[in-house]
Amino acid sequence: MEILSSEFNVQQHDFLPKKKWQTPFSFSAQKLFLLRYIWSADLIVIQFAGYHSFLPALYARIFGKPCLIISGGTDAHYFPKIGYGNWQKKFLSWFTKASFQLCSHIAPKHKTLMQCDYTYDKSEPSQQGIYARLPQLKTPFTEITNGYDTVKWHCTKENLPAGRQGKKNTFITVSGAWEYHFQQQLKGIDLILEVATSFPDCEFIILGVDDKNRIQTKSPNVKILPAVKNEELIDIFSECEFYLQLSMAEGFPNSLCEAMLCECIPIGSNVFSIPEIIGDSGFVLKNRSVNELTQIIQQALSAEKDTLRNKARLRITENYTLEKRKEKLLALCKRL
């Protein structure tokens, strides 16, 4: 919103029903919004595809307006075993499909959201992405990755109070949305809980769990913490040595990139954008295996940490800045 508002007059509408039964009312409110503003609109921009993207994409087609959908992850994912992704739900998949067919352009946060070979978890479909579900799709796309404020996100280790200048052998991961039954598997929390028992001298922090009953662990080296304000993450990341992003699926994970800017050494799963984000600054888990994760953590603990910390921050500052995202997004909008 900040990027678009910097050069355009933006009218915003949120499609956020709190309960499923409220969805028809959200459609009605959205229809009224569209009928009010579409006449003067030069472009319709939609974040993610789903129920909320159908009417804007349809009205854009009817009224001859360009329509851009920013694909972010769940609208490109199909994971029936754990019940995750738009494409494994009958009605949601129809609305997602229609939206991508009706819009005039797609801006995935990473090219793998369009199509990729998936090998991380052999029990899930090996072909992922929008083209895997819509092989005949003609809608053009432009990859626009997330971008980050490299000044805001930085290591504050030297400015922390005495005793908090960094905890050796500390691993952290951030995960919200615990209302979904698949969240623990989706974010690899189950792997972390299992591997933690093999490293009693290490500390594993799971941040973002407001209801501790959702995670059962008897390991004393696993710390479960509630969600915190975004700004507080900077100091928390700065205290930790490693960041774990062991997701089964991701679009372009913000927490991973923000932690790397705070000089956390990344350990991530071999899915979608994660290997590219990490590059040579950390470690990639090829398969969803506790044994392989154990080996990687052993390697990480004995690695040249200072070198990897510097590489982690440099990886983001060189490739994924807020300025680059702004430049690409504004250029695409103006072209459309």
Residues 213 and 315 grouped into a single domain: yes
Instruction: Name the nearest CA neighbour of 292 among 122, 125, 124.
Output: 122
Residues 281 and 260 grouped into a single domain: yes
- Where helices occur in the chain by DSSP H, the ranges are 2-5, 23-37, 51-62, 90-102, 130-133, 183-186, 189-196, 232-239, 254-261, 274-278, 290-301, 305-319, 322-335
The predicted model scores a pTM of: 0.93
Counting the structural domains of the chain, the total is 2
CATH of residue 201: 3.40.50.2000
Residues 123 and 163 grouped into a single domain: no
Residues 123 and 25 grouped into a single domain: yes
Other beta carbons within 10 Å of 151? 9
Q: Identify the sign of the CA torsion 193, 175, 107, 78.
A: positive
Residues 102 and 179 grouped into a single domain: no
From first to last of the 336 residues of the chain, give the pLDDT tens digit: 999 999 999 999 999 888 889 989 999 999 999 999 999 999 999 999 999 999 999 999 999 999 999 999 999 999 999 999 999 999 999 999 999 999 999 999 999 999 999 999 999 999 999 999 999 999 999 999 999 999 999 998 776 554 444 578 999 999 987 777 888 999 999 999 999 999 999 999 999 987 766 777 878 999 999 999 988 999 999 999 999 999 999 999 999 999 999 999 999 999 999 999 999 999 999 999 999 999 999 999 999 999 999 999 999 999 999 999 999 999 999 999
- Domain residues for the domain of 50 are 2-146+323-335
